[in-house]
Structure formats: C-alpha cells, structure tokens
Amino acid sequence: MERRKIGKSALETAPVVFGGNVLGWTVDQANGFRILDAFLDAGFNAIDTADTYSRWIPGNSGGESETIIGNWLKQGGGRRERVLILTKVGHEMGPGKQGLSRHYIKSEVEESLKRLRIETIDLYQSHRDDPSTPMLETLEAYADLIREGKVRAIGASNFTAKRLREALDVSRAHGLPRYECLQPRYNLYDRSDYEGELESLCRKENIGAIPYYGLATGFLTGKYRSPADFKKSPRGGRMADYLNPRGRKVLSALDAVSAAHGVNPAAVALAWLMARPSITAPIASATSVEQLKDFSAAAALKLLSAEIAALDAAGAE
C-alpha cells in the first residue's frame, strides 16, 4: 500500500480544508455528496471531520459526518485517490468512550475506519488534550497505528503551547511519531488562543496550522449584521458573541477589502488566514455548492500589505 506523506507539506496543496462538521447536521447526505463533488472538482483535496460529528444533534449518536464521507468515497470515481481524509478521536462518544488512552484510540480508530470505508486515515488527530493519560501512552498507540498502516500521520487539536511542546519532546526522546499539524481556534476575530506562544512554537517546529472556525461559525461571511439575522441558520444563536463593537469593526474592514476586490467578505476572511506565514490551510464549512465559490476566490486572492494591516487592526483584541 502506498504510504502518502501528510503534514504541513502535503496540506500546502490544499489552500482550504473542508469542515465536515456540517455533514449530518445542517447538510444531509444528498446535499453533502453534491458539495463534496464540487469541492473536489474545484481543485481542493482535504476534508476534516471527527468521530463525534454530529453527536450534539438530538437523535444523533456521533459518526454521522464520517458515515456520509464514507458513503461518498464508496461511489468510486477516483475520489479516495484524490482526497486527504482528516479525522479526530478523544471527544466523548458515550459513557466511558472518550480520551486518549491506548485502549480507546485503538478501539475508536476501527470505528472511524469502518464509517469512512477506508483502510487508512491520512491525518488522525487528538481532538482535545487528555491530561489523565500519559503522553507517552498516547503517542505509542499512534505509533502502532502508523506501523499497521491504519494512520499515515498524527495531529493535535485544541492543545496549549505547553502541552504541544511536551508532546514534541516525548516524541523526540522516544523516537515516536510527532504531531505534524495543530488545529487551533483561529480567525480574524478569535485570535488570542493562537497568536503568541502557540504560533511561535508552530513556526519554530515547522508544525502545520490548520485553524478551525475559519469564518467564525459564519459571522465573517457578513450575513449576520443584526440580532434579526440570527434566525438565518442553526448557528445563528452563536452570533451574539461576535456582534459587538469589535465585531462590527471587523465586518466594516471586510466590507472595504471585499468591495475593492469584487469578492464576498468570506473570501477575504479566508485569504487573510492564508496570508499569515504560520497558517498552512484554514478549515471552513459550506452548506451549499454556491458557498464554495468563496473558497476558490480566497485561494486566488492576493491581499495587499495595507489591506492585511487594516484587517489586523480591526480584529485586534
């Protein structure tokens, strides 16, 4: 079996990673198939999901997103060969089913592989840190999965700089695979968790950064301008956290830059992420084929240094 490399270098060919959290939530299987086909046809090649997506929906038990992706891949047509599959482990899937212990990782990877209908996960990520499990145990479990051909590379999500550094030190000391990518929460509005120590560590260690919430759960698309707009989608309830004086400054800056380039605010928000030297590729979701046009526009957009500075200033915390 070919062992395709994945990590920062591989993901650099994927200027936007599709966020699969919407699959099985706001996007059903039929629409998901159309969106994923269009995403691939537009030249993108990476899909991010997790075992728990979308367990938060009444009636769901987790695994819905992976199942839709697996059914899409099973249609053939070269889909599996053309795409990188990223998924995660660690969030609660039920009583006693969570964390990063050796036993749980080895058990849950089999469930993800079955739902995804693939033999190998390209990037398997620790969804959240698990302080109750020794870092060595977690990394040894991942090493086993890589040797067995079930996983190509590993990544981390929601880790602090201290814990990511500890993980890298353990990998070096014991000759184990290291976390090649980090998923931080990061966008033009949400910046404090990543900028600073965590970003510096990623740059120093050449860790690929693939931030989630690239569009701040939809706020940076510009469609939420008043409380009346919160009803526009199931995510609208979260917009109250963003629609404040700083959020309005961000929208104003996005409007100015998007007007100058003839694109939507979403494209500018994603292009801002792509322009940051430490970012490998932002993760963004779409609930329609039409929204994918912003992904392509972002990939083609070259922001001027003055525009980046204006956006930086508007989103500064």
Q: What is the pLDDT of residues 56-72, one digit of tens each?
A: 999 999 999 999 999 99
Whole-number pLDDT of residue 4 = 35
What residues have CB less than 8 Å from 61, skipping those under 6 apart?
Answer: 55, 93, 94
| 17-19: strand order across its sheet | 208-209, 179-183, 151-157, 121-126, 84-89, 46-48, 17-19, 283-284
256: tokens are 């100015």
| Domain residue ranges in the chain | 8-183
25: tokens are 């939530």
What residues have CB less than 8 Å from 308, skipping those under 6 apart?
Answer: 272, 275
Task: Give the residue ranges of DSSP H helices in the chain.
Answer: 8-11, 29-41, 64-73, 79-82, 102-116, 135-147, 161-174, 197-205, 245-261, 265-275, 292-300, 305-315
> Taking the CA atoms of the chain, what radius of gyration do you get in angstroms?
19
**3-state DSSP: the chain helix, strand, coil percent, rounded to 5?**
50, 15, 40
What is the rounded distance in angstroms from the CA atom of residue 269 to the CA atom of residue 316? 14
| CATH top-level class of 8-183 | alpha beta
Residues of the chain with pLDDT under 70: 1-14, 234-236
Whole-number pLDDT of residue 5 = 43
- Is pTM beyond 0.85? Reply is yes
- Catalytic positions are 53
What residues have CB less than 8 Å from 5, skipping those under 6 apart?
Answer: 152, 153
